[in-house]
């Protein structure tokens, strides 16, 4: 295995395009364990961390630019980013231990293409776009279209993500993320849920996005969320209000989970219902507080 | 097979070493630089025994490729004591009997040091989360957690005295 650390996008694309077994990486927190577990070693690994664009972190002209190779620890300690996207910070902060946080990145969490990736539901809920570069130049793709199945992305072999562009939240908008795991730390989501809510000055919901992780081959959006929540006042917490029954039913209907040692199909559907409601309540509360 | 020269800083000293591209930082520290204080546990980032500080961030050295550290700065357990003077965390671990076999200890100390740098007054829960990436199969963690809290208190006291 050869190691290369290009310092420009052009060099990186050239390396990936001219070596069929080459693989791009950033934090290596998935790459190295996969090799240790017996997956074939790539003929070349291309380190994206020395390309300046992959390390960008700024809020400018109506959107945040978040470099694909910025470590989680830097994201979760940036108070402006945490204030703008508390849910994305929650999801990112749940990826592994402090040691993993020092290395893991949003680009890697997305392109590893696990259905249970904790930073992906918030990115999708926020309407983030991935800026992708490759032999044919630069293109932009909604994050929801990057992963097409477990371990599989829609990117070509010589393409990689340089950064994410996330719309700066409008007044009255906020997000939230929660996951269920059987322990308190160091585990993979059995179900994850991200919500983004925007309310008007009267507290009525204007926009809603609910995105579930670990309940289908890719993250899934609860399509009916806007229809159910739009124009209504969202209660403080999941209670007897019929809004939660409707939202829970829609969340369950969006799931297509698997049975495995960490959760049955039935359990995952049930937890998806609970977490969808909780994250909507939290995002809505944060959205009202931001007015 | 060709080897690459890597130039970096280890515990404050400029260092060169030769490594293969597929070698991990853990292997380079132990096998090329003779710094065997950093231990290998799982080799997959789950146990934290190989924890080091890379450019100010706590990382598992088994999940870093050795050539990645060109131009970077690394802190290992060998740099923790100041000459003959142990770090307060090391003193606390000794006094609190916070280890038995000792294989996890360097990793716990590095993680604890990183935790206290960010948060000098952690609660017990914060300490437990701070070392969640470190596994110990001997102690049951309680003595480790108490020793970290004890060291934090002593470090705050000596900080206050200096002011």
Whether residues B129 and A185 touch (CB distance < 8 A) is answered with: yes
Neighbours of A219 (CB within 10 A): 27
Q: Which residue has the tokens 């546990």?
A: B41
Could you give the ipTM of this predicted complex? Answer: 0.96
Whether residues A96 and B111 touch (CB distance < 8 A) is answered with: no
Q: Is A98 on the interface with B (CB under 8 A)?
A: yes
The predicted-structure confidence for B78-108, as pLDDT tens digits, reads as follows 999 999 999 999 999 999 999 999 999 999 9
Rounded distance between C-alpha atoms, residue B128 and residue A140, angstroms:
41
Strand spans (E) along A30-93: 44-47, 57-60, 63-67
At B77, is the secondary structure helix, strand, or coil?
helix
Largest Cα–Cα separation, chain A: 60
Contacts of B68 in chain A (CB under 8 A): 3, 5, 28, 47, 49
Least Cα separation, residue A250 to chain B (angstroms): 35
Q: Is A76 on the interface with B (CB under 8 A)?
A: no
Whether residues B51 and A99 touch (CB distance < 8 A) is answered with: yes
Whether residues B133 and A99 touch (CB distance < 8 A) is answered with: yes
Whether residues B54 and A45 touch (CB distance < 8 A) is answered with: no
pLDDT given at position A111: 98
pLDDT given at position B90: 98
Check: CB of residue B36 under 8 Å from CB of residue B101: no
Rounded distance between C-alpha atoms, residue A6 and residue A12, angstroms:
5
> Quick one: which H or E segment has residue B130?
helix B124-130
Structure tokens at B62: 């088994």
Question: Which residues fall within 8 angstroms of residue A47, CB to CB, at 6 or more apart?
Answer: A3, A4, A5, A6, A25, A26, B65, B68
Whether residues B44 and A37 touch (CB distance < 8 A) is answered with: yes
Confidence check: pLDDT of A11 > 90: yes
Q: Which residue has the tokens 């830097």?
A: A74
Check: CB of residue B67 under 8 Å from CB of residue B21: yes
The predicted-structure confidence for B25-49, as pLDDT tens digits, reads as follows 999 999 999 999 999 999 999 999 9
Cα three-residue angle A171-A174-A175, rounded to 5 degrees: 165
The predicted-structure confidence for A117-171, as pLDDT tens digits, reads as follows 999 999 999 999 999 999 999 999 999 999 999 999 999 999 999 999 999 999 9
pLDDT given at position B162: 86
Strand spans (E) along A55-136: 57-60, 63-67, 129-134
> Quick one: which H or E segment has residue B57?
strand B57-60
Which residue of B lies nearest to A1 if distances are taken between CA atoms?
B22
Which residue of B lies nearest to A187 if distances are taken between CA atoms?
B46
Least Cα separation, residue B134 to chain A (angstroms): 8
Rounded distance between C-alpha atoms, residue A286 and residue A199, angstroms:
10
Rounded distance between C-alpha atoms, residue A227 and residue A249, angstroms:
13
Q: Per-residue pLDDT averaged across A271-284, rounded?
A: 98
Whether residues B65 and A28 touch (CB distance < 8 A) is answered with: yes
Q: Per-residue pLDDT averaged across A9-32, rounded?
A: 97
Confidence check: pLDDT of B133 > 70: yes
Confidence check: pLDDT of B150 > 70: yes
Q: Is A179 on the interface with B (CB under 8 A)?
A: no
Rounded distance between C-alpha atoms, residue A136 and residue B128, angstroms:
48
% chain A with pLDDT above 90? 97
Least Cα separation, residue A137 to chain B (angstroms): 27
Rounded distance between C-alpha atoms, residue A139 and residue A162, angstroms:
11
Closest CA to B86 of B149, B154, B33, B29: B154
pLDDT given at position B1: 66
Rounded distance between C-alpha atoms, residue A250 and residue A243, angstroms:
11
Place A186 in a pLDDT band, splitting at 50, 70 and 90.
Answer: confident
The predicted-structure confidence for A212-264, as pLDDT tens digits, reads as follows 999 999 999 999 999 999 999 999 999 899 999 999 999 999 999 999 998 99
Which residue of A lies nearest to B58 if distances are taken between CA atoms?
A99
SS (H, E, C) A139-207: EEEEHHHCEEECCEECCCCCCEEEEEEEECCCCCEEEEEEEECCCCCCCCCCEEEEEEEEECCCCEEEE
Cα three-residue angle A44-A46-A51, rounded to 5 degrees: 165
DSSP string, A231-261: TSBPPSSS-S-HHHHHHHHHHHHH-----BT
pLDDT given at position B163: 81
What's the pTM? 0.97
pLDDT given at position A248: 98
pLDDT given at position A181: 95
Tell me the sheet residues that pair with A57: A66
- What is the DSSP-derived secondary structure letter of residue A54? G
Q: Per-residue pLDDT averaged across B56-68, rounded?
A: 98
pLDDT given at position A44: 98
Q: Is A47 on the interface with B (CB under 8 A)?
A: yes
Closest CA to A263 of A209, A197, A187: A187
Check: CB of residue A66 under 8 Å from CB of residue A84: no
Residue-averaged pLDDT of chain B: 97
């Amino acid at each position: 295995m050869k190691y290369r650390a290009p310092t420009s996008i052009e060099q990186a694309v050239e390396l990936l395009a001219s070596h069929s077994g080459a693989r791009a990486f950033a934090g290596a927190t998935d790459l190295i364990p996969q090799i240790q577990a017996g997956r074939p070693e790539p003929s070349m690994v291309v380190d994206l961390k020395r390309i300046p664009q992959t390390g960008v972190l700024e809020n400018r002209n109506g959107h945040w630019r978040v470099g694909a190779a910025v470590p989680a620890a830097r994201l979760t300690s940036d108070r402006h980013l945490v204030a703008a996207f508390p849910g994305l910070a929650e999801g990112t902060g749940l990826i592994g231990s402090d040691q993993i946080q020092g290395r893991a990145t949003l680009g890697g969490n997305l392109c590893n293409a696990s259905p249970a990736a904790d930073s992906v539901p918030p990115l999708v809920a926020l309407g983030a776009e991935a800026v992708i570069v490759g032999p044919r130049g630069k293109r932009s793709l909604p994050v929801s279209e990057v992963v097409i199945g477990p371990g599989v992305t829609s990117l070509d072999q010589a393409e990689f993500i340089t950064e994410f562009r996330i719309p700066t939240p409008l007044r009255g908008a906020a997000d939230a993320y929660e996951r269920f795991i059987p322990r308190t730390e160091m585990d993979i989501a059995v179900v994850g849920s991200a919500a983004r809510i925007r309310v008007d000055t009267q507290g009525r919901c204007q926009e809603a996005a609910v995105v579930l992780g670990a309940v289908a081959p890719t993250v899934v959006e609860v399509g009916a969320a806007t229809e159910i929540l739009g124009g209504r006042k969202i209660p403080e917490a999941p209670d007897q209000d019929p809004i939660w029954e409707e939202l829970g039913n829609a969340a369950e209907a969006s799931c297509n989970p698997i049975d495995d040692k960490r959760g049955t199909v039935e359990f995952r559907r049930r937890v998806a219902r609970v977490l969808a409601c909780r994250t909507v309540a939290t995002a809505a509360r944060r959205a009202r507080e931001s007015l | 097979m060709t080897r690459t020269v890597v130039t970096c800083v280890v515990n404050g000293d400029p260092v060169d070493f030769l490594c293969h591209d597929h070698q991990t930082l853990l292997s380079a520290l132990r096998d090329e630089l003779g710094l065997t204080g950093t231990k290998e546990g799982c080799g997959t980032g789950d146990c934290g025994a190989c924890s080091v500080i890379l450019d100010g961030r706590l990382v598992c050295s088994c999940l870093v490729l050795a050539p990645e550290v060109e131009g970077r700065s690394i802190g290992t357990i060998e740099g923790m004591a100041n000459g003959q003077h142990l770090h307060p965390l090391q003193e606390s671990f000794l006094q609190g009997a916070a280890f038995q076999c000792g294989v996890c200890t360097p990793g716990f100390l590095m993680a604890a040091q990183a935790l206290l740098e960010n948060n000098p007054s952690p609660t017990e829960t914060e300490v437990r989360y701070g070392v969640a990436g470190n596994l110990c199969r001997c102690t049951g963690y309680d003595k480790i957690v108490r020793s970290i809290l004890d060291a934090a208190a002593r470090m705050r006291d000596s900080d206050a005295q200096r002011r």
